[in-house]
Chain A
Amino acid sequence: EDQVTQSPEALRLQEGESSSLNCSYTVSGLRGLFWYRQDPGKGPEFLFTLYSAGEEKEKERLKATLTKKESFLHITAPKPEDSATYLCAVQAVRRANNLFFGTGTRLTVIP
């Protein structure tokens, strides 16, 4: 059974305090792992897709990495506008085009 666990549930950081969000997954045949950002009351915004262990992708202050069991979203020197819920999702080979989502990490960056 596909499973995605995100930790921590909530994270409070001071502006400029770097940290990482974790996404642990169990899936039979990983086709892709996706990171999204979601602001309150809005739809998720696509950030990254990772396909194989060792892959890394960056966008501004965000960097996503992937191993065979987990993915990390590293946030370097965060700003208050980075406050949001970050969602992780996996796509299994046997469920082509369908994503299985974790419950998210709610990030708050304090000025």
Chain B
Amino acid sequence: DGGITQSPKYLFRKEGQNVTLSCEQNLNHDAMYWYRQDPGQGLRLIYYSQIVNDFQKGDIAEGYSVSREKKESFPLTVTSAQKNPTAFYLCASSIVQGASNEQFFGPGTRLTVL
């Protein structure tokens, strides 16, 4: 089955730690995205990538880093510089060309700072 997988489902971080969230897709999509979801707020874009070895900052990139070494993978690192990292993190992917650009989402990773 084609889809997007995220791991782990739950992640706990201590103060000062960097943690990496995994996102893998087998939809053959060129574009991948990371969003953050907080209660009472809409999804906010952290980073996106439209092609391997290239990525752009979204609206709230501070304290986060990404890499795109393979088309299928787009890991997100939450660094110790992110002051309020507790949130639900969602990865998505989409095609780049064509009329339909709907994004398909993974199941999410819930990150909690201890």
Report which A residues bind B (CB closer than 8 A).
Answer: 4, 31-32, 34, 36, 41-46, 49, 51, 87, 89, 91, 96-104
Contacts and interface: CB of A to CB of B under 8 A. Distances in A.
B42 to A, nearest CB: 4
A103 B40 contact: yes
- The A interface, classified by DSSP as helix, strand, loop or mixed, is strand
A49 B42 contact: no
A29 to B, nearest CB: 14
Contacts, number: 62
Question: Interface size bucket, B side?
Answer: 20 to 34
B105 A49 contact: no
B43 A43 contact: no
Interface in B33-65: 33, 35, 40-45, 48, 50, 58
B94 A97 contact: yes
Contact of B42 (A45, A46, A102): A102
